[in-house]
């Protein structure tokens, strides 16, 4: 049973998640104002995100970027939302971008 569990963990980590630790651009590259946000999970893992306010702001959206890349790969989408008056908080999961920790199915 432990062999099966180990195989499953390998599959999930190598075939489902595709994290990238390299930040290739920031909101500043799109002339978007932003704030670096650091927060700690309930199990003490330090996570990173960006708060990108729209001016004026009609709404706030929490953007979860998916299973690949990191927040720097989603800035085209963030810019479009921002241009429509939507403030965005986008963050990296464990093991992605500047966030600490290891990737897992549990997040």
**Residue 95 contacts residue 103 (beta carbons within 8 Å):** yes
Q: What residues contact residue 79 under an 8 Å CB cut-off, 6+ apart?
A: 30, 32
- The model carries a pTM of 0.80
SS3 assignment, position 76? helix
SS3 assignment, position 106? coil
The predicted-structure confidence for 38-66, as pLDDT tens digits, reads as follows 999 999 999 999 999 999 999 999 999 87
Q: Which candidate, 95, 40, 63, 61, places its Cα nearest to that of 107?
A: 95
Q: What residues contact residue 92 under an 8 Å CB cut-off, 6+ apart?
A: 47, 48, 49, 65, 70, 71, 98, 99
The predicted-structure confidence for 6-23, as pLDDT tens digits, reads as follows 555 555 555 555 677 899
**Residue 62 contacts residue 37 (beta carbons within 8 Å):** no
């Amino acid at each position: 049973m432990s062999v099966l569990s180990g195989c499953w963990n390998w599959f999930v980590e190598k075939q489902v998640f595709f994290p990238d630790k390299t930040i290739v651009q920031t909101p500043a590259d799109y002339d978007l104002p932003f704030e670096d946000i650091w927060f700690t999970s309930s199990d003490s893992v330090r996570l990173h995100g960006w708060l990108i306010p729209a001016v004026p702001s009609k709404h706030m959206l929490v953007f979860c970027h998916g299973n690949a890349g990191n927040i720097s790969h989603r800035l085209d989408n963030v810019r479009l939302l921002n241009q429509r008056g939507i403030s965005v908080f986008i963050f990296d999961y464990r093991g992605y971008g500047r966030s600490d920790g290891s990737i897992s199915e549990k997040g």
